[in-house]
Amino acid sequence: DTAVSQTPKYLVTQMGNDKSIKCEQNLGHDTMYWYKQDSKKFLKIMFSYNNKELIINETVPNRFSPKSPDKAHLNLHINSLELGDSAVYFCASSQGTSGSQFFGPGTRLTVL
């Protein structure tokens, strides 16, 4: 009965590779998000989708491409991985943009 799930939980890869992280929510929410928590522990929003439509795109490199096949899923594809991409990535969802968001358990990405 997990509300927001992410796969994989851990991802270790080499520089230059392409990888994807998947997110699914079973809460029936309209809005989904991707956040990055860097080494300084700041949680920063990357993208937000409302009903499969991109509504927030922070200054994220083009190598990051979110895809929302339906409103329950928001996947994150990263091309040409760099060392600085190492971080924990969190998916979240909310009903509309009311503020109260439900987070997934996070995916720890390590780029070697």
Partner 1 sequence: DQQVKQNSPSLSVQEGRISILNCDYTNSMFDYFLWYKKYPAEGPTFLISISSIKDKNEDGRFTVFLNKSAKHLSLHIVPSQPGDSAVYFCAAKGAQKLVFGQGTRLTINP
Chain positions contacting partner 1, by CB under 8 A: 4, 40-45, 48, 55-56, 90, 92, 97-106
Answer yes or no: are the C-beta atoms of 112 and 14 closer than 8 Å. yes
For partner 1, which is the closer residue by CB, 14 or 40? 40
Distance CA 112, CA 109 (A): 10
| Six token digits for residue 48 | 């937000």
**DSSP codes joined into one string, 33-91:** EEEEE-TT--EEEEEEEETTEEEEE-S--TTEEEEEEETTEEEEEE-S--GGG-EEEEE
**Smallest separation (angstroms) from partner 1 to the CB of 90:** 5
- First CA to last CA distance, the chain: 34
For partner 1, which is the closer residue by CB, 42 or 110? 42
**Smallest separation (angstroms) from partner 1 to the CB of 65:** 19
For partner 1, which is the closer residue by CB, 18 or 58? 58
**Smallest separation (angstroms) from partner 1 to the CB of 32:** 13
**Smallest separation (angstroms) from partner 1 to the CB of 30:** 12
For partner 1, which is the closer residue by CB, 64 or 90? 90
